[in-house]
């Protein structure tokens, strides 16, 4: 008679469950499906330890171009060949200039006000935005680039309650984070924000036709920015 039946399967399952539970417990909540209202960005995974910026730029550039031209690996190798640093936004910016794209780098804000607002770029202009966040603390060596693709709101006074983003370095690409938590992580990296845009094709015209009413609306937005210069104080930007 078997007094002590052994079930090796149960032991293995317990070990696997413990291992799975112990891994990645610092990660934000994964989101399995794209919620409605988020940008459908083709995902690019960071294959190297330092590839989050190049993967993010590849995702965003492909989306803006509307075609798959950049992979993280290809972009990283191109930067290496040009003796540029893949973790340095200025170097990535220089490289993109050489292929006809502009990487705008500035210190953004969480709100929807042009031209610095994260919500403005994502929700009003339809551009995925690369944000550098730091969820580990103040050490700048732990800065991490992610691609913000959308927001969900409640009726609370805050403008955005949840931020959805693609993380090039996690098993679950689509992540979400409460807006206030994202704001803290973003602030640790100086609210660094990047947007890939196509330089305009012609004089006074957008690179792609968006309709007269739309163009007039956004020209009005940016005319106020054009009047702002000098000491950098923004006035009339919404």
State the nearest-atom distance from the C-beta of 56 to another protein, in Å: 8
Nearer to another protein, 112 or 181 (CB): 112
- Report yes or no: 92 and 99 within 8 Å, Cβ to Cβ: no
State the nearest-atom distance from the C-beta of 105 to another protein, in Å: 5
Cα gap 223→56, rounded to integer Å: 30
Cα gap 164→108, rounded to integer Å: 17
State the nearest-atom distance from the C-beta of 83 to another protein, in Å: 17
State the nearest-atom distance from the C-beta of 130 to another protein, in Å: 8
State the nearest-atom distance from the C-beta of 4 to another protein, in Å: 6
Nearer to another protein, 181 or 221 (CB): 221
Cα gap 124→113, rounded to integer Å: 10
State the nearest-atom distance from the C-beta of 182 to another protein, in Å: 15
Nearer to another protein, 3 or 81 (CB): 3
Nearer to another protein, 77 or 153 (CB): 153
Nearer to another protein, 50 or 98 (CB): 50
> Which residues, listed in sequence order, are joined to residue 150 by a DSSP beta bridge?
164
Nearer to another protein, 141 or 235 (CB): 141
Tokens in use for 51? 């590839």
The label of the residue with tokens 């551009």 reads 127
DSSP designation for 106: E
The residue ranges of DSSP E strands in the chain, in sequence order, are 29-30, 102-107, 129-133, 144-152, 162-166, 174-178, 192-197
- Report yes or no: 237 and 220 within 8 Å, Cβ to Cβ: no
Task: Say how many Å lie between the first and final Cα of the chain, rounded.
Answer: 81
Nearer to another protein, 180 or 210 (CB): 210
State the nearest-atom distance from the C-beta of 45 to another protein, in Å: 10
The label of the residue with tokens 């993967």 reads 55
DSSP 29-67: EE-SSPPTTS--PPP----STT-HHHHHHHHHHHHHHTS
């Amino acid at each position: 008679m078997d007094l002590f039946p052994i079930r090796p399967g149960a032991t293995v399952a317990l070990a696997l469950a413990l291992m799975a539970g112990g891994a990645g417990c610092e990660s934000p909540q994964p989101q399995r499906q794209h919620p409605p209202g988020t940008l459908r960005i083709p995902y690019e995974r960071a294959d190297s330890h330092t590839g989050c910026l190049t993967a993010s730029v590849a995702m965003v550039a492909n989306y803006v171009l509307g075609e798959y031209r950049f992979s993280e690996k290809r972009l990283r190798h191109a930067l290496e060949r040009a003796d540029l640093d893949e973790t340095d936004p200025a170097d990535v910016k220089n490289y993109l200039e050489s292929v006809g794209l502009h990487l705008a780098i500035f210190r953004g804000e969480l709100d929807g006000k042009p031209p610095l607002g994260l919500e403005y770029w994502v929700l009003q202009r339809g551009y995925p935005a690369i944000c550098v966040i730091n969820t580990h603390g103040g050490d700048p060596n732990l800065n991490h680039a992610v691609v913000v693709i959308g927001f969900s709101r409640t009726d609370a006074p805050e403008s955005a309650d949840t931020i959805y983003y693609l993380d090039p370095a996690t098993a679950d690409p689509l992540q979400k984070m409460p807006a206030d938590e994202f704001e803290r992580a973003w602030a640790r990296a100086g609210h660094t924000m990047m947007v890939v845009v196509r330089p305009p094709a012609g004089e006074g015209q957008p690179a792609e036709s968006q309709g007269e009413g739309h163009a007039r609306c956004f020209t009005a937005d940016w005319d106020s920015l054009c009047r702002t210069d000098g000491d950098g104080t923004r006035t009339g930007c919404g």
